[in-house]
Amino acid sequence: MASSLSTQSPRERNEGANPLGGVRSNYAGPLRRISRDRTLPWWRRILPVIASHRVTFIVAISLSFVSLVFQTLVPNMLNHAIDHSLVAHQGSLTRAVVEILIVGVLAGMTGMISRQYVFATAYNVEADLRSLIYEHMTWLSFSFYDRVQSGQLISRANSDIRSVQMYSTFAPLIVVQCFIGVIAFIFMLSINVVLALIAMIVMPLLYFVSIQMRRVLFPISWITQARLADVATIVDENVNGVRVVKSFAQEEAEINRLADAAERVAWSYVKDAHLRAVWSPWAQNLPQLGLALVLLFGGWMVIDGHLGIGAILAFNAYLLMLQAPFMMLGQLVMMGQRAKASAERIFEILDENPDIVDRPGAYDLEHVEGRVVFDHVRFAYGAGNEILNDVDFTLNAGETVAIVGRTGSGKSTIARLLTRFYDATDGHISIDDHDVRDVTMHSLRQNVGVVLDEPFLFSISIAENIAYGAPAAERDAIIAAAKAANAHEFIEQLPEGYDTVVGERGYTLSGGQRQRIAIARTLLVNPPVLILDDATSAIDVHVEAGIYEALRTLLQRRTTIVIAHRVSTIALASRVLLLDEGRIVASGTHDELLATSPLYGEVLAQSTSDESGDE
């Protein structure tokens, strides 16, 4: 489960082969996970991730504190230099200047090192959060992706994480700045108690302003992040669906749709800016009122001889030093509200639990022969209508069976249930008498290969795409799989052969070429059970014949389910199952069904372009 700590260290998890190629980074991966306790405040849930970087974080905070302490020493040193060296002529002015310069250099050096550690911690925390949310999304079941827009996920894995990261790492620095304000106030008390108390008159007002800012900024922060996610969704859909948009000449409509979403984002930003314009000046300028009071009363004290010139200059320097915490307090409130809104949006994903998980005591499926049994299986997607109704059949080890039916009859659903993309509502599915719900999903999917009708290719080389499921495969094995899928010839004609990098989703290749690479990818894994889900629908009939000629030998050594419309595809099978409205209504050879089932003839008469991917 994604919610528990892995038994492997992050570095061990990252030392395996990388199917997507590229240069491996030194990032070891997240050491701790976000708390699953929903009763905790949002920052307490994220605290374990930050605590995993406590060494660099503590160094950053400590050095920041030291740097600010050095800064607070300077006004007091200035006070003594003026009153003793300039006014009373009781010490060396040169020595005082050198001491101030040394303290200033130390403050600058520690501050510089502190910033380096702060940013290192910040970016590592951001990487951890992004890795955790992506890892959790990989564990979530298909039902989650059936109802959640991809743009929402992209937004939460980017802008929302950035908001949380910035607050989580920089808020402690602001708190340190506030502690330094306390030290500065102590120095002010040492100079003159009455004047120090006068300077702090504005503190109750500042507290009230910060409370009001937090109350009004949180709702607009939530709305802003949600509307940014809407924009990301529209952009994602337009990029992935650009061919549909252009095919129907809907460019202008999509531009208007994005413009409307952008306008909603702009409104939320303007509203946010308006609230900041109303409240931020109070937080930032209230200290100026304190400064005016200090100048007024301090000036009288200097005139009356109760306070030295150096003391009033040092006092003003400390008061200016106090302005930074005051100003940062308003920024901290605004960052905190945005971070809270973003964190809650992230938790909406991380608090999701996968529907399909390994049962307690699940074991690996090993030494598979390939006997598949569907025992009175029923299934419905969510609360929808039942897709499969009492489906019952057996595939013997090494047998090739074709499943034929109208679009929407449930053919592809059978493939999804066998691989446990979904669990059957009722009934049992087994491989070699092992219920698929009793074995680990990883071992199940290693032994059941699926070639979909809409193959997905990554933006990497063709060789890496073919070897995606077996990243350690030798080039000879990759070429052999490509030859079996009748893809070797066209690959060799590409500019860089097997090293040619395909475009996003493989759209630089034709549909038939993508399907052949997908077939090669599955064949390289060499699963004992193979599902061809209309896997040759985009392939030319002549090319298809070449593929089937190569597949015939391979299919003899594995159990194969062929979901197809074409007679040439069905000819691969020794037996045909006719599916209609979620039931198997006929079973036999192709010739037997042609002779005995009028429905079978009607299904074959349908256009070969019919798709079963939405079933």
**DSSP code of 224?**
H
Q: Which of 5-9, 227-231, 482-486 has the highest mean pLDDT?
A: 482-486
Find the mean pLDDT for residues 250-278. 83
Per-residue pLDDT band for 350 (boundaries 50, 70, 90) equals confident
pLDDT in tens, 82-94: 766 565 556 566 7
Q: Is 69 a residue whose pLDDT tops 90? A: no
Domain-embedded: residue 389: yes
pLDDT-above-90 percentage for the chain = 11
Same domain, 229 and 311: yes
CA–CA–CA angle 36, 40, 46 (5° rounding)? 65
For 274-340, list the strands marked E by DSSP.
none
Element (H, E) at 388: strand 386-395
pLDDT in tens, 414-438: 988 999 988 999 999 999 999 999 9
Contacts of residue 454, Cβ cutoff 8 Å, sequence gap at least 6: 613
CA-based torsion, 581, 587, 592, 596: positive or negative: negative
Q: Which pLDDT does position 483 carry in this prediction?
A: 87
Per-residue pLDDT band for 552 (boundaries 50, 70, 90) equals low
Same domain, 393 and 476: yes
* Two tokens, residue 18: 């990388």
Find the mean pLDDT for residues 69-78. 82
Same domain, 338 and 448: no
Domain-embedded: residue 355: no
Q: Which of 350, 385, 400 is the last residue of a domain?
A: 350
Same domain, 514 and 582: yes
Q: Which pLDDT does position 427 carry in this prediction?
A: 92
Same domain, 391 and 438: yes
Q: Work out the mean pLDDT of the chain and round it to a whole number.
A: 79
CA–CA–CA angle 389, 395, 397 (5° rounding)? 155
Q: Which pLDDT does position 610 carry in this prediction?
A: 47
Same domain, 56 and 182: yes
Q: Is 474 a residue whose pLDDT tops 70? A: yes
* Two tokens, residue 124: 């590592």
Q: Is 300 a residue whose pLDDT tops 60? A: yes
CA-based torsion, 457, 419, 446, 127: positive or negative: positive
DSSP of 109-123: HHHHHHHHHHHHHHH
In the chain the first and final C-alpha atoms are separated, in Å, by 29
Lowest mean pLDDT among 170-174, 388-392, 525-529, 544-548: 544-548
Q: Which pLDDT does position 130 carry in this prediction?
A: 84
Per-residue pLDDT band for 246 (boundaries 50, 70, 90) equals low
**pTM tops 0.85, yes or no:** no
Q: Which pLDDT does position 506 carry in this prediction?
A: 64
**DSSP code of 295?**
H
CA distance 575 to 401: 5
CA distance 339 to 45: 13
Between 471 and 453, where is the model more confident?
A: 471
Q: Is 335 a residue whose pLDDT tops 90? A: no
Burial 355-371 (b: 16+ CB within 10 A, else e): eebbeeebeebeebebb
CA distance 130 to 152: 14
Q: At what angle do helices 541-555 and 511-525 cross, to 10 degrees?
A: 10
Q: How far, in Å, are 371, 428, 429, 521 from residue 417 at the CA level?
A: 15, 10, 8, 21
Q: Which pLDDT does position 142 carry in this prediction?
A: 77
Find the mean pLDDT for residues 217-237. 76
Q: Which pLDDT does position 239 carry in this prediction?
A: 65
Same domain, 554 and 494: yes
Domain-embedded: residue 186: yes
Domain-embedded: residue 277: yes
CATH of the domain at 543: 3.40.50.300
Same domain, 201 and 260: yes
Find the mean pLDDT for residues 390-401. 91
Same domain, 189 and 284: yes
Per-residue pLDDT band for 575 (boundaries 50, 70, 90) equals very high
What is the span of the domain harbouring residue 399? Answer: 372-605
Strand order in the sheet with 559-563: 448-451, 529-533, 559-563, 400-405, 575-580, 583-588
CATH of the domain at 89: 1.20.1560.10
Domain-embedded: residue 579: yes
Q: How far, in Å, are 299, 405, 567 from residue 600 at the CA level?
A: 102, 8, 11
Per-residue pLDDT band for 546 (boundaries 50, 70, 90) equals low
Among 322, 292, 302, 93, which Cα is nearest to 189's? 322
pLDDT in tens, 272-297: 888 878 877 777 677 677 777 777 88
Instruction: Please name the residue that has the structure tokens 């709305």.
Output: 223
Element (H, E) at 180: helix 161-191
The burial of 487, by beta-carbon neighbours within 10 Å (0-12 exposed, 13-18 middle, 19 or more buried), is given as buried
Domain-embedded: residue 356: no
Same domain, 325 and 467: no
Domain-embedded: residue 614: no
Q: Which pLDDT does position 91 carry in this prediction?
A: 59
Among 284, 288, 286, 301, which Cα is nearest to 193's? 301
Helices and strands (H, E) in the chain, number of each type: 22, 10
Q: Which of 298, 319, 350 is the last residue of a domain?
A: 350
Domain-embedded: residue 611: no
Element (H, E) at 82: none
CA distance 486 to 513: 9
Per-residue pLDDT band for 3 (boundaries 50, 70, 90) equals very low
CA distance 177 to 328: 8
Find the mean pLDDT for residues 41-51. 87
Q: Which pLDDT does position 22 carry in this prediction?
A: 44
How many distinct structural domains can be found in the chain?
A: 2
Q: Which of 13-22, 174-183, 389-398 has the highest mean pLDDT?
A: 389-398
Per-residue pLDDT band for 13 (boundaries 50, 70, 90) equals very low
Q: How many CB atoms lie within 10 A of CB 468?
A: 21
pLDDT in tens, 146-177: 777 776 777 777 778 888 888 887 788 777 87
| Chain centre distance of CA 371 | 38
Between 506 and 365, where is the model more confident?
A: 365
Same domain, 296 and 408: no
Same domain, 324 and 422: no
The burial of 379, by beta-carbon neighbours within 10 Å (0-12 exposed, 13-18 middle, 19 or more buried), is given as buried
CA distance 589 to 520: 28
Q: Is 125 a residue whose pLDDT tops 80? A: yes
* Two tokens, residue 393: 């059949």
